Amino acid sequence: MLYQSKDDKQVRLRTVIPFENKLAPLLIRDALHSLIPDGTDHIFVVGIGSNLISGDSLGPFVGTLLEELYPNHLTVVGNLRYPLDATTLVPVFSNKTLPKNSFVICIDSVLGTKNIVNSIVVQNGSFSPGVGLNQRLPSLGDCSIMGVVLENDSNLEHNLLYTNLHLIYTMATNIAKGISLAIRQYYRYPSNGPILN
């Protein structure tokens, strides 16, 4: 489903996809393809999260699935080996200058309303990580892909530790496949090449 909402005078386009939808990778590909501007030379995937908390591992998991794939057009920052969490995000990006004509996709686990829990949300515009944990971190990216893993409630910290790994694994593989398909289509890679490493 596609939603439009006003946010700080900017129209936000959101695609909401149930995490087990068999067409999820294709829907993610289509959503990204509509957001990546013509003339983009390089795509950065920023996998935000922790490798110690299952509910917060979505970003690094996606980063691991995509690293070293399409090296001429894709750079991954944040994976399970080198996660990009609240302690490493600012040091990594404070002195980083991205090349001209780059497009940045942020991936993170988020909390949401009951009606979109267990969904993957693709949204244009920058992303503010850590909001669900009341952390103030810099906004990043040109678009975001968020896995809504839990409902926003008072038992947040406890629940994140015990988030269903099937949910995280399925979301991560669908997101990674969708990004891979978008890059393959955008840069016209052969269709018989691998989708993931």
Which residue ranges form the domains of the chain, and what is each CATH number? 2-186 (3.40.50.1450)
More confident residue, 99 or 6: 99
Q: What is the pLDDT of residue 135?
A: 67
Rounded alpha-carbon distances, angstroms, from residue 130 to 76, 138, 148, 166: 20, 9, 13, 23
Average pLDDT over residues 91-112: 87
Across residues 18-47, what is the average pLDDT? 96
Q: What is the pLDDT of residue 12?
A: 67
Q: What would the mean pLDDT of 113-136 be, rounded to a whole number? A: 83
Q: Structure pTM?
A: 0.90
Per the model's pLDDT, the better-predicted residue between 91 and 35 turns out to be 35
pLDDT at site 21: 97
**Average pLDDT value for residue range 30-47:** 96
CA distance 58 to 45: 13
Q: What is the mean pLDDT of the chain?
A: 87
Answer yes or no: is pLDDT of 33 > 90. yes
Q: Quick one: average pLDDT of 97-110?
A: 92
**pLDDT band of 194, cuts 50, 70, 90:** confident
pLDDT (mean) for 37-66: 95
In the sheet with 119-124, reading across from the earlier edge strand, the strands are 2-7, 10-18, 119-124, 143-151, 102-112, 42-47, 74-77
